[in-house]
Structure formats: C-alpha cells, structure tokens
C-alpha cells in the first residue's frame, strides 16, 4: 500500500472533482469526472457511484483504476484496486451523504454504491523535472 501525505489529502479534499480512469478487459480506456469523493484514511479513498455506467462495468471486469487530480501546476495520480460496496455501514453512510447533498443542491441524487480504492502507488503529475515520478 502507498500513503498519501497531508498535502496530497488536503488537495484531494479541495478540488471540486477528480478524474477516475478505468479500462475494459481488452484495454479500451474510459475517464470520467467524480465529485462525490472522501478520504477514509491515508491509503484509502471512497467515491460514490450515482451515474457510473461504462465505469462500473469496467471496474467489475478489471478493478485496477487510476485517480488523478490537480490544481494549478500541482497534481497527483493514485493507482490501486477498487472494491464495490452496495451493502453495509459504509454504503449506508454514503447513501445518506449523497441524498443530503442532492437535497442541498435541489437535485435528487441516489448512491448506487461506495467505491473503495486501496492506493498501491502514487505518482506526481506536476510539470517539471519530477514529472511522473513515483512518490509512494
């Protein structure tokens, strides 16, 4: 497992959305924005599935994903394996959180699943000499 630093976690929380990349079994890539995101701990994040379609099919077939986020010239890429929870405490907490969020923005939202990413590798994506370097 790889651990996010305080700074990586701070930026993850701050950005409005991250980019979640998955792939089909034969390697066709698919990248989508995801705004419903939380940090569970320094090596685990949670994403909520309201609308995943190709993304969900890809994760079921091949659970290795990449999450990328940035602000200005600073960015990080997290790679790891997801599990999809559709029952249990974490899923129930997620459904409440998403329903409340939907009520706040006046747009009904329902979580279909809590996507739990265990982070295996972290890379920097900031431009410059360290671009693409593995950080954890």
Collapsing DSSP states into helix, strand and coil, what is residue 4?
A: coil
Give burial (CB, 10 Å; 0-12/13-18/19+) of 104. exposed
**Does the protein bind ligand FMN through residue 94 (CB under 6 A)?**
no
Number of residues interacting with ligand FMN: please give it, by CB under 6 A. 15
For ligand FMN, which is the closer residue by CB, 4 or 67? Answer: 67
According to CB under 6 A, which residues from 34 to 53 bind ligand FMN?
34-36, 48-53
Scanning 29-37, 80-88, 89-97, 123-131 for contacts with ligand FMN by CB under 6 A, the matching segment is 29-37
d(CA 27, CA 62): 10
Shortest CB 72 distance to ligand FMN, Å: 18
d(CA 23, CA 5): 27
Q: Binding residue for ligand FMN (CB under 6 A) from 15, 32, 84, 125? A: 32
- Beta-bridged to residue 66, according to DSSP, are 21, 79
Helices (H) and strands (E) in the chain, counts: 3, 7
DSSP 132: T
Q: Binding residue for ligand FMN (CB under 6 A) from 33, 127, 130, 132? A: 33
Name the strand (E) or helix (H) holding 56. Answer: helix 54-61
Shortest CB 59 distance to ligand FMN, Å: 9
Q: Can you give the binding site for ligand FMN, defined by CB under 6 A?
A: 17, 30, 32-36, 48-55
């Amino acid at each position: 497992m790889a651990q996010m630093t305080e700074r990586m976690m701070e930026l993850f929380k701050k950005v409005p959305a991250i980019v979640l990349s998955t792939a089909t079994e034969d390697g066709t890539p698919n990248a989508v924005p995801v705004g419903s995101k939380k940090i569970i701990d320094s090596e685990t994040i949670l994403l909520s599935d309201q609308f995943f379609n190709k993304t969900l099919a890809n994760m079921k077939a091949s659970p290795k994903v990449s999450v990328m986020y940035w602000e200005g010239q600073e960015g990080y890429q997290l790679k790891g394996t997801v599990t999809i929870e559709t029952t249990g405490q974490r899923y129930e907490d997620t459904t409440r959180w998403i329903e409340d969020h939907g009520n706040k923005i006046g747009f009904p939202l329902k979580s279909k699943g809590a996507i739990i990413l265990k982070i295996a590798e972290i890379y920097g994506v900031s431009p410059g000499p360290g671009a693409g370097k593995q950080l954890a």
